[in-house]
Amino acid sequence: MDTTKPENYSTNHSFQHNLGIELQQKHMRWEEGDTVLDAGCGTGEICKYISQQPGVASVVGFDVSPDFISFASQHNSSANMRYHVSDVSDASTIKPEWQAAFSKVVSHAVLHWVQDKVAALKVLHSCLKPGGEMLLWFCASNESKFCQIVLDMATHHKWKTYLNDFEPNLFPWPSSDFVNGGHSSYFLEECGFEVLSCYSKSYQQPFGSKEKWRKAISTLLRHLSYIPQDRHEEFLDDVEKMSRDINFVSDDYKAIGKCQVVHARKL
Ligand SMILES: C[S@@+](CC[C@H](N)C(=O)[O-])C[C@H]1O[C@@H](n2cnc3c(N)ncnc32)[C@H](O)[C@@H]1O
């Protein structure tokens, strides 16, 4: 995704925001004194939302993008919130005081951007207090039309002259990791989590217009920074055509797809 333009993500991420809040309302019960970590917090709107929930004492958000963290600090801060630049899959970037410090961890729309899932899960586990809860959503390899679009556009014959050096850095969670009819995961169990729920969720999110859908998808397509500005609309025409072909977007600009949800507890 493009993490160099935080204002674009902040104004065009209603899909991620609405899904994150819907899942929190379904799975999380905020309790008095909750200390919450948001791993891959982006521009901080979900951190701010959590910080305003009854009982929540404090929220820490971290992200690998310095630009996003700078934006979050400026636009989505309050007295009980802190932001940092850290990499969820690199334990050396995690602050020592975060060890076993959090009663809840969320990480929404992040782990498909992270190659080493086990390293990331170990970090998230280490930050939780025993019995603490974690809520994730991410894209899985067997069903993510979004990942298909990002990866297929990276090798599209028409655009390959521009995209020779482009690495999508997108790593959908391997579906082979899910066991027990898709209701558990080796990685999670190996990292010391009890899986409370693990399931594939279907979504249909209306964007309302071609322009809004294009702005939202553009924030996730770092391809565009390799393509001349005057050809961006043409590139997006091809993204839209491919999205229609696999029914990832409808005629009235609803995004249609599936994502993986995990609610787990530290043993
Ligand atoms: C689609 S955004 C999701 C942001 C936010 N969680 C939300 O729901 O709106 C993905 C975020 O993951 C961050 N990210 C990607 N790899 C990361 C890593 N290794 N460690 C921490 N954050 C990472 C990106 O910088 C980006 O802000």
pLDDT per residue as tens, the chain (267 positions) = 899 999 999 999 999 999 999 999 999 999 999 999 999 999 999 999 999 999 999 999 999 999 999 999 999 999 999 999 999 999 999 999 999 999 999 999 999 999 999 999 999 999 999 999 999 999 999 999 999 999 999 999 999 999 999 999 999 999 999 999 989 999 999 999 999 999 999 999 999 999 999 999 999 999 999 999 999 999 999 999 999 999 999 999 999 999 999 999 999
Q: 223 with 153: CB under 8 angstroms? A: yes
The residue whose CB lies within 8 Å of the most ligand 1 atoms, and thus the one to mutate among 9, 23, 24, 63, is 63
Domains of the chain: 6-266 (3.40.50.150)
Distance CA 172, CA 115 (A): 8
DSSP 126-184: HHEEEEEEEEEEE-BTTT-HHHHHHHHHHT-GGGHHHHTT------PBPGGGEETTTTE
Residue 196: closest CA among 132, 142, 140, 141: 132
In sign, the C-alpha dihedral spanning 20, 178, 36, 110 is negative
pLDDT at 238: 98
pLDDT at 71: 98
CA of 113 to the centre of ligand 1 (A): 7
Which uninterrupted H or E stretch holds 21?
helix 14-27
The residue whose CB lies within 8 Å of the most ligand 1 atoms, and thus the one to mutate among 110, 115, 170, is 110
Q: 219 with 1: CB under 8 angstroms? A: yes
Q: 111 with 39: CB under 8 angstroms? A: no
CA of 134 to the centre of ligand 1 (A): 16
**Angle between helices 232-245 and 145-154 in degrees, nearest 10:** 130
CA torsion 254-259-262-263 (nearest 10°) is: 10
- Residue nearest (by alpha carbon) to ligand 1 atom 4: 42
CA of 123 to the centre of ligand 1 (A): 15
Task: For tokens 């609405």, name the residue.
Answer: 18
Q: 60 with 98: CB under 8 angstroms? A: yes
